[in-house]
Structure 1
Amino acid sequence: MASDSDGAAVWGALGSGFRDRVAVVTGAAGGIGLETATALHEHGARVVLLDRNAPLLERSAAALPGAVAMPVDITDAARVAEVFAEIAERYGPVDHLVHAAAVITARPLLEQDAEHWHRVLDVNLVGTFSVVRAALAQMVARGSGTIVAVASDAGFRGGGGLIADAAYAASKAGVLSLVKSVAREFAGRGVRINALVPGPTDTPLHDGVPDELKQRIAAGLPMGRMGRPDDMAAAILFLSSPAAPFVYGTALDVDGGSMLR
């Protein structure tokens, strides 16, 4: 995993707490989800990869010996509950949840309709609720576990920009609020939940964005480049690890200084 810093050394210091733990990663067929699943696998976690793209998910899991691929559409709340029950039965209760599944859209507001909003919110917000609820039930029953939900800086600053529209921004603002709400309601129950807030990140979700536009976005960031999936995976591992025992209910910006603008 390429990185400006020695990410492997950092992960080595944090990763001992993942050995033999059951880690579920959504959106794991590619991008931030796959990079995080790979990092957890490298540190000995028993990784379960979830994604709706079954063929790509199977190929991704095949590169991680012992990892399990379970195709699921997170907009189907009943199926999400079934999958998490199956995970607990086959592998044990979930110790770590990384929720990275999402869709990103960049449509001008006057070209959006109710169908567009429902689709984006069903995946990004309602899907987050379904996944978090399913994992949380197992963690609360056991009195331990960690959850990291991937949000976006668009949830703070709003959409209508070059690569994120109002529907996407609203959905990610909802994710941030959901994380805070869960943290308040379940304080003292042994479960830590936090949000990761990426800035502009070059993932497969942006495959349709022209390189020239990506270069313009990168030039406007203080660090001079867009984020990468391994940047996000390193932060997620920190939030999920024993190295962050007092990090709770927070939204961690990993954005190359984007919020400074």
Structure 2
Amino acid sequence: MGSEEQPAWRAFSSGFADRVAVVTGAAGGIGLAAATALHAYGARVVLLDANAPLLERSAAALPGAVAMPVDITDSARVAAAFDAIAERYGPVEHLVHAAAVITALPLLEQDVEHWRRVLDVNLVGSFTVVRAALAQMVPRRGGTIVAVASDAGFRGGGGLIADAAYAASKAGVLSLVKSVAREFAGTGVRINALVPGPTDTPLHQGVSDELKQRIAAGLPVGRMGHPDDMAAAILFLSSPAAPFVYGTALDVDGGSMLR
């Protein structure tokens, strides 16, 4: 580190000011928490989600934030959305990809259409969004991407709140992150995965309070995660405070992986 350079950690609080940050799955849960955190640090936040009414309400709580309803399984619309963002607000410098669907169906109750839907949103959607971001970041030789995966991607599904299709899709997201990091590390674009453990988000709307308590009791920390727990880790991975972090899978799971 040269005499004129500052330690990376000093850049954390100022690393997002006036930068264009796109967040998918931003109508609620981890996506909205990440968008709120980035907005608080001065980023120009664009919120993407397929749920247009909820997205508009979420964006309205963040002055200056922009809501863009987008189905991430539609690659043409994703590309068009990123082009429109670059034209109106400037090139995308940060991407937080949190959009996902989840179910907890036993394997024998799943059919091919269930698998296709889960993998189309969670894995194919990840490809379309990451590719669109890379198209703007690589020529500019810089940018950060954080893809939200899941501890189910490591340990498998078939549990209380995740099934095999969801687990397989998130394992694919983890592999995608590793592959992109390996291919593009030399371009200055950093991509990493956030790996939440059981987290109380709108994805788990059908989960009873009793079941949530059982899940929390099974974690070393004694509680489920909160979207704000994940947003703090996303800020770190996206910030100049993590300049040497490439292709990692950061567990933010209350000790879930210790079991």
TM-score category of the 2 structures, normalised to the smaller one: over 0.9
State the SS of the aligned residue for 1:246. Answer: coil
Of residues 80, 83, 94, the one that matches 2:81 is: 83
Paired AA for residue 239 in structure 1: L
What is the match of residue 235 of structure 1?
Answer: 233
Return the alpha-carbon distance in structure 2 between the equivalents of residues 92 and 141 of structure 1: 14
Shift, 1:135, TM fit: 0.4
Of residues 118, 125, 133, the one that matches 2:123 is: 125
What is the match of residue 134 of structure 1?
Answer: 132
Return the alpha-carbon distance in structure 2 between the equivalents of residues 116 and 207 of structure 1: 19
Shift, 1:187, TM fit: 1.7
State the SS of the aligned residue for 2:185. Answer: coil
Q: Deviations over 1:210-249 (max 9, x none)?
A: 1000000000000000000000000000000011001110
What is the match of residue 245 of structure 2?
Answer: 247
State the SS of the aligned residue for 1:138. Answer: helix
State the SS of the aligned residue for 2:162. Answer: coil
Return the alpha-carbon distance in structure 1 between the equivalents of residues 182 and 241 of structure 2: 22
Return the alpha-carbon distance in structure 2 between the equivalents of residues 48 and 72 of structure 1: 11
What is the match of residue 224 of structure 2?
Answer: 226
CA contact (8 A) 2:46 2:67 kept: yes
Shift, 1:13, TM fit: 7.4
Q: 1:64 to 1:82 in 2, by over 3 A?
A: same
What is the match of residue 4 of structure 2?
Answer: none
What is the match of residue 178 of structure 1?
Answer: 176
Q: Deviations over 1:161-214 (max 9, x none)?
A: 000000000000000000000001112101000000000000010111010000
Shift, 1:16, TM fit: 1.0
Q: Deviations over 1:107-126 (max 9, x none)?
A: 00001110000000000000
What is the match of residue 90 of structure 2?
Answer: 92
CA contact (8 A) 1:15 1:43 kept: yes
Unaligned runs of 5+ in 2: 1-8
Paired AA for residue 103 in structure 1: V
Identical-pair percentage? 89
CA contact (8 A) 2:16 2:42 kept: yes
Q: TM-score by structure 2 length?
A: 0.96
Return the alpha-carbon distance in structure 2 between the equivalents of residues 225 and 87 of structure 1: 38
CA contact (8 A) 1:15 1:237 kept: no
Paired AA for residue 196 in structure 1: L
- The yes-or-no answer on 1:108 pairing with 2:106 is yes
Of residues 213, 216, 221, the one that matches 2:214 is: 216
Return the alpha-carbon distance in structure 2 between the equivalents of residues 52 and 208 of structure 1: 20
CA contact (8 A) 1:72 1:80 kept: yes
Shift, 1:46, TM fit: 0.2
Of residues 38, 49, 52, the one that matches 1:51 is: 49
Shift, 1:91, TM fit: 0.5
State the SS of the aligned residue for 1:252. Answer: strand
What is the match of residue 5 of structure 2?
Answer: none
Paired AA for residue 176 in structure 1: L
What is the match of residue 153 of structure 1?
Answer: 151
Paired AA for residue 20 in structure 2: V
Aligned length: 251
Q: TM-score by structure 1 length?
A: 0.95
- The yes-or-no answer on 1:30 pairing with 2:24 is no
Of residues 29, 34, 37, the one that matches 1:39 is: 37
Higher alpha-carbon deviation: 183-192 or 122-131: 183-192
CA contact (8 A) 2:10 2:241 kept: no
Shift, 1:12, TM fit: 10
State the SS of the aligned residue for 1:187. Answer: helix
CA contact (8 A) 1:26 1:51 kept: yes
- The yes-or-no answer on 1:259 pairing with 2:257 is yes
CA contact (8 A) 2:50 2:71 kept: yes
> RMSD in angstroms over aligned alpha carbons?
1.1
Shift, 1:58, TM fit: 0.4
Return the alpha-carbon distance in structure 2 between the equivalents of residues 37 and 15 of structure 1: 15
